[in-house]
Amino acid sequence: MNISEKSKKIIDSCRFCWMCRHVCPIGNATGLERNTARARALGASLVVRGATELNEIADNVYECMLCGACTNNCMTGWDPKVFIYELRREIVYAGCAPEYIKALISKRIESGNVFGLPVPEKLTKAAKKNGKTLFFAGATAVYKAPECVLDALGLIEKAGEKCAFDPLLNSGADLWFLTGKTKETFDAASRCAQALSGYDQVVVYDPKDLAFLLHECREWGVEIKTSLVSFNEYLNNLIDSGKIKVNKSEKEYALQDSYAYARDLGDCESGRKIIDKVGVRKEMLLIGKEADAAGELIMREYMPAVIDAAARNRWTSAKNMNCFTLVTESPDEYVTLLATKPENFEVFTLEKIILNNMGE
Amino acid sequence: MNEFLFTQVLTELEDAVGRENCSVKEIDKVTHSVDYFWLSRMWADRGRRMPEADFVVSPLDAKETSKVVKIANYYKIPITVWGGGGGTQGGAIPVCGGILLDTKRMNKIYEVNEEGMYIECGAGAIYKHVEWAANERGYATMHYPSSLTCSTVGGFLAHRGIGVVSTKYGKIDDMVLQMEVVLPNGDIINTSSAPKHAAGPDLNQIFIGSEGTLGIITKAQMRIYVQPEVRKFRGFLFKDMSSAFKAGREILQKFKPSVMRLYDDAETASLIKKIVGVEKPGAFMNVAYEGVKEIVDVEEKILLETFARYGAEDLGSEYGEKWWKEKITFFYPGHMMDLPQLFGTMDTIAPYDKIEKIYHEMKKAVETNFPQAKFIAHFSHWYEWGCMIYDRFIIDGKDVPQDPVEAMRLHNAIWNLGVRTAIANGGVVNDHHGVGIKLGRLMKEQYGPAMQVFEGLKKSLDPNGILNPFKLGL
């Protein structure tokens, strides 16, 4: 197994430490001992020492949302995600990936997306080439939350902005999730970077795509010659500049922090600023960087019951704090929270609550 | 067990808990074979496989637990109960194979009862999650051990755990009202509806600390407390340990601080210096006092006056607040002792007339007989009558045998010497980590003929000896 010294060091630090067990959304959903950073590290450490085989831990390496809750919680600064990504790469290279992962990779190669779906017709029709700004929806939103993409495009149009939109663009973050840093991931990221570089500004809808483009691509030397802006920041700018007029209502909203926004991008405020402009903000107990992740749609392809259980746990947290309306800032969590929504509760995207509270 | 019988048992366990909650996968066996016990960690570090269970089951509740226990009884297969796996005594390691019963699926928060001031929850609930449930209603559990985030309600009860604000709020056995327990024959019982009564011995106290040898705790009602209006800290530096013990004893006759932690010179100069920043020589003591503001103000006045009479240097609130903020940091990799070091915590407890002597005798015994070992200690849970020692030995990696058998010999020799010294001077085998397989052999030395009470209970409740064999000396 060819993993870095950095990963080996993290593995040997995490293999006997349970301190982040309580924040793992998967472990909390399954109650399984193996769904902890320490169990994955222990398994990997035994592979490194020749006491077990890589294929014996393969399933468990994929039972991770890579949400970074463990990383955020570690007082010493260890990052289990580092070795998880490397293990995924090694598992794929060794040909011992679980069949359900192989199937997703095959779909990605054949159709351009891990879901194996065609672009929804309404989004094909919405494609636009002209404009100095590109609205980059990302593969997860295009294939799994097309209505959200249409809402976002509609809002942009109402603001009088002219944005290009290409539903076929894929950052490569999906391959990063499934295979770590492989040649295929690098090539996908490079192709995306080249496509984005033709615009003055790119508004990135999915915070996971933005984090991947800003962090991994930069680290790998993939040059992106454009200005990348988060969708939340873009929306705040549209409102602050008066291009979108909103009315502040008395309706209470609680933000479901996207782990990519909060932990990877360090932004826990932009979503809250939007809520403050259109309604009354409520909060759950665990928010910002500490918020529990409520969904990951690639993982939902192969562990739907577990991902939905994680989303239901988040609804329980909302209920305990009398938060009846959740607002999401990522397509993954919008889809999973919508699918698991209890009766008398609501879930909206940020663009939707703006649309619902637009003034004249 | 032959393949046919193995498969037969597997299907019966699957029938009891559901196929998806019964595993024979290698990853599940491996992750349940190593707990926080140094020997298990060392064994794995040397590339050896620890003893593993044959089956890993996760029951949903007492009913499913009962079914598993009945199957185990019929086939005479051992059951080892696993909560969070954060125990230091090897209590959760399935040393005889058989069934590993993981309680974490029993993690439901059934009720936050604000009138009765308790939370009813499954024994597999992570205590931090119980704390969050209390926090959502404005309360607190006041059980804050370093393992708060990784250990379960049942794990703390089974090993009689304790948290850092114990001096005011008590140990885990002070925090439980009622428990549901599955007996070794599969019967499901409830202890009395309130813990303080004259209706015979307290059933709770039979199962608390029994480490899964007498029954499996499946549900519990844990106390919640009103959040204090204020929590204040004060750090002190004592010139010698004797003055600190006297000052501590006196303050406990006047009021109960929440935190009282006295660090010996060696630990003050190492961990406290590193994490809290205290640079001066001496014995550092951190005291927290909390509750209604007016009362806390009076307590602070009494504390300062009392400690001044024993020559304690008042370090103000800064170090204490830093300690509170970093109280769990001590236990993260990079701060805590870790492999390749050999280390252990020989916590013991005794009345004030014995505790200081125990400390000095244990320090002398370990440092004299094992000159390669460093001995550090703090005293972290105080009562009106005495306190406990959290004493640790640490041996640098270069002095630890690579051969795992020799490493085990060295480890066990230090433990034998340290704990026997504690017992000989009036201490007990352990204060709050439990006994497990690590100290089972020393239980008879501790109790002598009194051990027959535990053995009688075990024989009566578990005649087939299926529950957690070779733990607790039973």
One pLDDT digit (tens) per residue for chain B, 474 residues: 899 999 999 999 999 999 999 999 999 999 999 999 999 999 999 999 999 999 999 999 999 999 999 999 999 999 999 999 999 999 999 999 999 999 999 999 999 999 999 999 999 999 999 999 999 999 999 999 999 999 999 999 999 999 999 999 999 999 999 999 999 999 999 999 999 999 999 999 999 999 999 999 999 999 999 999 999 999 999 999 999 999 999 999 999 999 999 999 988 888 788 878 888 889 999 999 999 999 999 999 999 999 999 999 999 999 889 889 888 887 887 777 899 999 999 999 999 999 999 999 999 999 999 999 999 999 999 999 999 999 999 999 999 999 999 999 999 999 999 999 999 999 999 999 999 999 999 999 999 999 999 999 999 999 999 999 999 999
d(CA A336, CA B372): 56
d(CA A246, CA A350): 13
Annotate B286-313 with DSSP letters as a single string: EEEEEESHHHHHHHHHHHHHHHHHTT-E
Q: What pLDDT is stored for residue B288 in this prediction?
A: 97
Q: Provide CATH code, domain A121-237.
A: 3.40.50
* Chain B contact for A1 (CB, 8 A cutoff): no
* Chain A contact for B329 (CB, 8 A cutoff): yes
pLDDT at A104 over 70: yes
Q: Which of A14, A15, A22 to mutate to test the interface with B (most CBs of B within 10 A)?
A: A22
* Chain A contact for B328 (CB, 8 A cutoff): yes
Q: What pLDDT is stored for residue A312 in this prediction?
A: 98
Q: What pLDDT is stored for residue B473 in this prediction?
A: 96
Coil vs helix vs strand at A3: coil
Q: What pLDDT is stored for residue B180 in this prediction?
A: 98
Domain ranges of chain A: 5-97, 121-237, 246-356
Q: What pLDDT is stored for residue B247 in this prediction?
A: 98
CB atoms within 10 A of CB B425: 18
pLDDT at A189 over 80: yes
d(CA A206, CA A140): 8
| Residue in chain B lying closest to A18 (CA) | B150
DSSP letter for B336, please.
Answer: B
Q: Say if residues B237 and B260 touch (Cβ distance below 8 Å).
A: no
Question: Which CATH superfamily includes the segment(s) A5-97?
Answer: Alpha-helical ferredoxin (1.10.1060.10)
* Chain A contact for B6 (CB, 8 A cutoff): no
pLDDT at A262 over 70: yes
d(CA B309, CA B303): 10
pLDDT > 90: percent of chain A: 97
Coil vs helix vs strand at A34: coil
**CA B263, chain centre distance (Å):** 19
CB contact under 8 A, B31 and A42: yes
Q: What pLDDT is stored for residue B271 in this prediction?
A: 77
For residue A320, the distance in angstroms to the closest alpha carbon of chain B comes to 7
Q: Give me the helices (H) in B146-292, please.
A: 153-158, 166-169, 203-207, 241-254, 265-267, 273-275
Q: Do domains A5-97 and A246-356 have the same CATH topology?
A: no
d(CA A211, CA A265): 6
pLDDT at A360 over 70: no
CB contact under 8 A, B47 and A50: yes
CB atoms within 10 A of CB A46: 25
User: Please, what is the end-to-end C-alpha distance for chain B in angstroms?
Assistant: 24
Query: Tokens 């790998």, residue?
Result: A220
d(CA B179, CA B202): 11
Q: Which domains does chain B have, with CATH numbers?
A: 3-102 (3.30.43.10), 109-226 (3.30.465.10), 230-331 (3.30.70.3450), 342-459 (3.30.300.330)
The residue type found at A48 is V
d(CA B44, CA B59): 28
Closest CB to A320: pick one of B41, B45, B136. Answer: B136
Q: Which of B25, B27, B46, B100 to mutate to test the interface with A (most CBs of A within 10 A)?
A: B27
Token couple for B419: 């704990």
CB atoms within 10 A of CB B413: 12
Interface of B with A in 141-160 (CB under 8 A): 147, 149-151
Closest CB to B149: pick one of A15, A22, A42. Answer: A22
d(CA B390, CA B89): 15
- Distance (Å) of CA B386 to CA B38, B176, B273, B344: 29, 23, 27, 23
* Chain B contact for A78 (CB, 8 A cutoff): yes
Architecture of the CATH domain A246-356:
3-Layer(aba) Sandwich (3.40)
Coil vs helix vs strand at A276: helix
Q: Measuring CA to CA, which residue among B292, B278, B283 is closest to residue B326?
A: B278
Q: What pLDDT is stored for residue B273 in this prediction?
A: 84
Q: What pLDDT is stored for residue B335 in this prediction?
A: 75
Q: Say if residues B17 and B58 touch (Cβ distance below 8 Å).
A: yes
Q: What pLDDT is stored for residue B171 in this prediction?
A: 97
